[in-house]
Structure 1
Amino acid sequence: MDNRLTDQQFEDLLKQYNNMIHYQIHKLFIKDYEGEFYQEGVTALWEAYLKYGQDPTFPKMATIHIRSRLIDKIRKHKRVQDRETFDKYIDHQNHQVVINKQIEHFDPHFWSTVRQSLSDKQWLFIEKRILKGYSIKDIADQEQTTVDAVKGWGQAAKRKLRSVLKDYNIT
């Protein structure tokens, strides 16, 4: 079975599914100023046709395929954005995290609230790992404990802070 399309056939298919692509973009709250998500949707439509074109479930499969590709693109953008944001804090010569010393003074009430919510070990994890940028192994060595223990402090701190951070719209 040959699923290849001529340019005219694809243009007709695109006219038929154009609103659906825009609907999926809108439904996912995507701001597509440069049209890259729309283009991703068009490419996904093409691929869906190549894979499911003659199948009676094509409309449903096309929708699923397009939505999935848009979500993948959102995730890719998020990873790139996170990497670029974190990249600002890395000293590439020494391969260490550089922490802005003003972070503790950014919102004293916030840090006070965080501190009050945590045990001493959990705060130690936040202070050394988050604020000072030490590795988990370095913290374990400094505190003369195991890496697993330090990871446990971090997990417990994260669990406790979820409710605190909701008030600050951080989660």
Structure 2
Amino acid sequence: MNNKKTFTFEEIFNQNERRIHYQIHRLNINDPHKDFYQEGLCAMWNAYEKYEADKGPMATYFNYTIRNRLIDKIRKEKHDTKHAADSIVISEAEIDDGNHLKMNGNTYPIVGYSGLNGKDPYLWERLKSELTENQWKWVNLYIMHDMSVKAIADQEETTVDAVKSWGKQVRRKLKDSEFRKRISWNLEL
């Protein structure tokens, strides 16, 4: 058994298949789709191909290779799961970027900004003079430069909730008719 040239892989497989099951059981892996079994089988094949008799017993090498490949697969799946979860969180943050009013379990879009005239620099200057620095950052980056709340938070090194708060404050001001008169902005709400 120490010389791979005298035994075919089928013979080695028949003698050592239980090693795969043993390692799966030992690592407490739930394998309903046999993905880990297949990974163990590939590891056994690679071990069979790379085995050198003068380096030690084949059984030890099989155990080592199978176990480490299964552990690598566990780590990869955890990484992929975490990456998918992070992507979901980012997507939800972009979808729920503070432009919705939630009341009684329902979500209503907040009045859009289609009435903003991007070609009137005086309107923007008047608006800027009436807002705090952070509120203006939100107007400039979110409305004028169409950045996501997450991107603004990353750029300004703050939280997504803080950026959402800036936007809520701006919206509150824009809904106030006295505020709109001060900046000479006539918008039908």
TM-score normalised by the chain length of structure 1 = 0.50
Q: Tell me the alpha carbon deviations over residues 15-63 of structure 1, each in whole angstroms, 9 at most, x when there is no partner.
A: 1111111010011111111111001101101111111153442211111
Give unmatched runs, 5+ long, in structure 2: 99-148, 160-189
Give unmatched runs, 5+ long, in structure 1: 101-131, 141-171
- Determine whether 1:61 maps to 2:80: no
Distance 1:97 1:74, change over 3 A: farther
Contact 1:48/1:65, CA 8 A, preserved across alignment: yes
Distance 1:4 1:59, change over 3 A: closer
Max Rg structure? 2
Q: Aligned residue for 2:157?
A: 138
Normalized per residue, the structure richer in helix is: 1
Q: Distance in 2 between matches of 1:136 and 1:5?
A: 61
4+ runs deviating over 3 angstroms: 3-6, 53-56, 95-100, 132-137
Distance 1:52 1:4, change over 3 A: closer
Q: Aligned residue for 2:77?
A: 77
**Residue 136 of structure 1: CA displacement?**
8.7
Distance 1:13 1:87, change over 3 A: same
Q: Tell me the alpha carbon deviations over residues 143-165 of structure 1, each in whole angstroms, 9 at most, x when there is no partner.
A: xxxxxxxxxxxxxxxxxxxxxxx
The share of aligned pairs that are identical, in percent, is 37
Q: Aligned residue for 1:29?
A: 28
Distance 1:138 1:66, change over 3 A: same
Q: Distance in 2 between matches of 1:41 and 1:15?
A: 14
Contact 2:47/2:61, CA 8 A, preserved across alignment: yes
Q: Distance in 2 between matches of 1:78 and 1:89?
A: 16
Contact 2:24/2:70, CA 8 A, preserved across alignment: yes
Q: Distance in 2 between matches of 1:99 and 1:37?
A: 40
What SS does the aligned partner of 1:91 have? helix
Contact 1:90/1:98, CA 8 A, preserved across alignment: no
Distance 1:5 1:35, change over 3 A: farther
Distance 1:91 1:71, change over 3 A: same
